[in-house]
Structure 1
Amino acid sequence: MSRITPLTIDELSERGVDVTPFLHDFAELPGSVATLGYRPDILNGTLVLWQAVMGAGSLPDELKYLAGYLASMSAGCQYCSAHTASNAGTVGDSAKVAAVWEYERSPLFTEAERAALRFAQLAGMSPSGVRDEDVDAMKEFYSETEIVELLAVVALYGFFNRWNDSLATHLEPTPFKFANQTIADHGWHIGNHA
């Protein structure tokens, strides 16, 4: 149960929050929106950042969500892990989501994806596990602009990892079902998000 009562769509509307942009990327309104809505200015700033990081750039959406998944699992956030895995499966290949923990060996992943996923997994740790050689491996495949884009994904999810874990945000049905069927064998569990 969420530690702060989530606002309803009507209550968000009364505060001037339009939920339409959030439903573009999610099957249900994310619980974080329903709590960030207590401060519409922070919620709107978060939406602008979300759109800049996840809606723009040159990296494929699937890679961004897989990176967000690995970073969120590294940070221990089951809520964001379920969301990012579910979104990766929606925009890409569910088989890749199921095999992402074998990214170093699985033929489903390219060398470029391996470098990016390793970087994301290490960057999601606290403290960061990224070393010079990890950045050098990224530079073999990605421009510095793309490296910044990927790190922005990890950092964005760092915010949401802390937000959702601290408030025990209730996990919505769509990401719960996907996570339960696809990533539960890799250490995912609903935790305090039931």
Structure 2
Amino acid sequence: MPHLRPLENDEINDKEIVERFEHYNKTRGFVPNSIRTMSRRPNIVKTFMALNQAVLYEGTVDKEIKMLVSLASSLASGCRYCQSHMANLSSIYEASDEKIAAIWEFETSDLFSDAERAAITLAMKAGTLPNEASQEDFDKLAKYFDEGQIVEIVASVALFGYLNRWNDTMATQLEEYPKEVTKRAVDGFEEGKHV
């Protein structure tokens, strides 16, 4: 049970927020409960949506890699809500169900490139405990990504540091669509349990 109920569109008095929700409906098929809850403070939700756009959808790092990095960071932190959302977005950005399900075996699975392994390694470490990220991790990243791209990867991890804490603290209720994608992609998924 969520600690705060997500707001419906007719409860939000800001046209710009409701219009942005239409974008979420078109791209994801639903509006995340997390931002519906944030909508009680329009400046917070608008700033968050702008940051989310800049981090995940702008720049030169392949979007599939950003989604997998965000998924890995959420797996490391244990946030089931964000894990499901990022399994869904990874699927939208063409990661196969097999690749999503193999994320825990990214170091040995043939489904992942060396560039993906470098990015996911950093995400797992930073998602668990940020100071676990080492110079060696950044040296590996530098083989595949320029400095601007490394900033994008770290920004993806950091964005989910915020979201993992938001959603776990608020006990945000998972929507049906990302729950279905996660069940399909990750055998044995149970809401509230670690994979």
Q: Tell me, yes or no, whether TM beats 0.5.
A: yes
Residue 168 of structure 1 and its aligned partner are, at CA, apart by 0.5
Residue 21 of structure 1 and its aligned partner are, at CA, apart by 3.0
Cα distance in 1 between the residues matched to 2:60 and 2:130: 27
Which residue in the other structure is 2:48 paired with?
A: 46
Superposed, 1:114-153 pairs within 5 Å as 114-153=117-156
Which residue in the other structure is 1:2 paired with?
A: 2
Residues 95-143 of structure 1, C-alpha deviations (whole Å, 9 max, x = no match): 2111111111111111111111111111111344211111111111111
Residue 23 of structure 1 and its aligned partner are, at CA, apart by 2.6
SS at match of 1:191: coil
Please say if 1:112 is aligned against 2:99: no
SS at match of 2:132: coil
Cα distance in 2 between the residues matched to 1:94 and 1:119: 22
Superposed, 1:160-171 pairs within 5 Å as 160-171=163-174
Which residue in the other structure is 1:71 paired with?
A: 73
Q: Is 1:78–1:189's contact at 8 Å kept on the other side of the alignment? A: no
Which residue in the other structure is 1:26 paired with?
A: 28
Report the more deviating stretch, 136-145 or 123-132.
123-132
Cα distance in 2 between the residues matched to 1:33 and 1:189: 23
SS at match of 1:52: helix
Q: Give aligned-pair identity as a percent.
A: 35
Report the more deviating stretch, 71-80 or 14-23.
14-23
Which residue in the other structure is 1:190 paired with?
A: 191
Residues 21-46 of structure 1, C-alpha deviations (whole Å, 9 max, x = no match): 33344221100111100001110000
Unaligned runs of 5+ in 1: none
Structure 1 moving runs of 4+ over 4 Å: none
Cα distance in 1 between the residues matched to 2:76 and 2:131: 10
Cα distance in 1 between the residues matched to 2:116 and 2:62: 10
Q: Is 2:76–2:124's contact at 8 Å kept on the other side of the alignment? A: yes
Structure 1 residue aligned with 2:62, among 27, 40, 60? 60
Cα distance in 2 between the residues matched to 1:148 and 1:20: 29
Cα distance in 2 between the residues matched to 1:147 and 1:127: 15
Cα distance in 2 between the residues matched to 1:52 and 1:137: 24
Cα distance in 2 between the residues matched to 1:53 and 1:110: 22
Q: Is 2:101–2:187's contact at 8 Å kept on the other side of the alignment? A: no
Report the more deviating stretch, 64-73 or 86-95.
86-95
Cα distance in 2 between the residues matched to 1:124 and 1:28: 26
Paired amino acid for 1:189: E
**TM-score by structure 2 length?**
0.91
Residue 184 of structure 1 and its aligned partner are, at CA, apart by 4.5
Equivalences, count: 189
**TM-score by structure 1 length?**
0.92
